[in-house]
Amino acid sequence: METACISVMEAMSAKCMVVCPNLGALPETCANFAWMYGYEPGPEKHIVVHSHILGRAIESYRKDETEILLSVIYVF
């Protein structure tokens, strides 16, 4: 667990969609603008949860509201 995540900050500033668990300081770092899911400590369960959320994020990528979010909200 980290107190901040530089790679997430860099990804968001580059207007990339972030898909991550709610582990450590990620909720505060992402400020609720990431596709976030509940962290699962078991690798098998974590893979299932992450792949489900990642699939939903990919499906929504070309929607107007997602494009607006990526272009407007991620300004630091």
- Residue-averaged pLDDT of the chain: 88
Residue entry with tokens 């509940």 = 38
- Identify the band that residue 47 occupies on the pLDDT scale cut at 50, 70 and 90: very high
pTM for the model stands at 0.81
- Identify the band that residue 2 occupies on the pLDDT scale cut at 50, 70 and 90: confident
Rounded distance between C-alpha atoms, residue 70 and residue 16, angstroms: 7
Spatial CB neighbours of 53, under 8 Å, sequence gap ≥ 6: 19, 35, 36, 37
Rounded distance between C-alpha atoms, residue 19 and residue 40, angstroms: 14
